[in-house]
């Protein structure tokens, strides 16, 4: 399964509204998990089986909690049994389709 998620605190008390320290703590958890992952400007994607992926999301969410008075979690999952390597595979197929159409 692939999961794209974004986790951030609110009520940080920071005048500039920045949450980069909290997001860094969450991304650190994901990277240390050893699961395939990728972080972009708005989401972190992680690939694995249901239990291991959601355990990482839970720990990443917990890592953000100390940075504010509440935590927001946005999550999207692609559950496709029998498939692995889709973190890159989906993008490669998309790029091939774009190339073929051009």
Residue 88 main-chain phi, psi, to 5 deg: -100, -35
List of domains in the chain:
2-101 (3.30.70.930)
Tokens 């990482």 sit at which residue?
56
User: For residues 25, 14, 3 and 44, what is the CA-based torsion angle, rounded to 10 degrees?
Assistant: -70
Quote the percentage of the chain above a pLDDT of 70. 99
Dump pLDDT digits (tens) for 18-63. 889 999 999 999 999 999 999 999 999 999 999 999 999 999 999 9
**Eight-state DSSP code of residue 29:** H
Q: What are residue 39's DSSP bridge partners? A: 44
């Amino acid at each position: 399964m692939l999961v794209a998620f974004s986790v951030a605190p609110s009520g940080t008390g920071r005048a500039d509204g920045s949450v980069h320290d909290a997001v860094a703590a969450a991304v650190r958890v994901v990277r240390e998990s050893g699961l395939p992952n990728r972080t972009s400007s708005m989401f972190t994607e992680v690939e694995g089986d249901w239990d291991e992926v959601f355990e990482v999301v839970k720990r990443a969410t917990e890592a953000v909690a100390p940075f504010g008075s509440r935590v927001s979690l946005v999550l999207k999952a692609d559950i496709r049994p029998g498939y692995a390597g889709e973190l890159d595979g989906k993008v490669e197929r998309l790029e091939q389709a774009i190339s073929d159409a051009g």
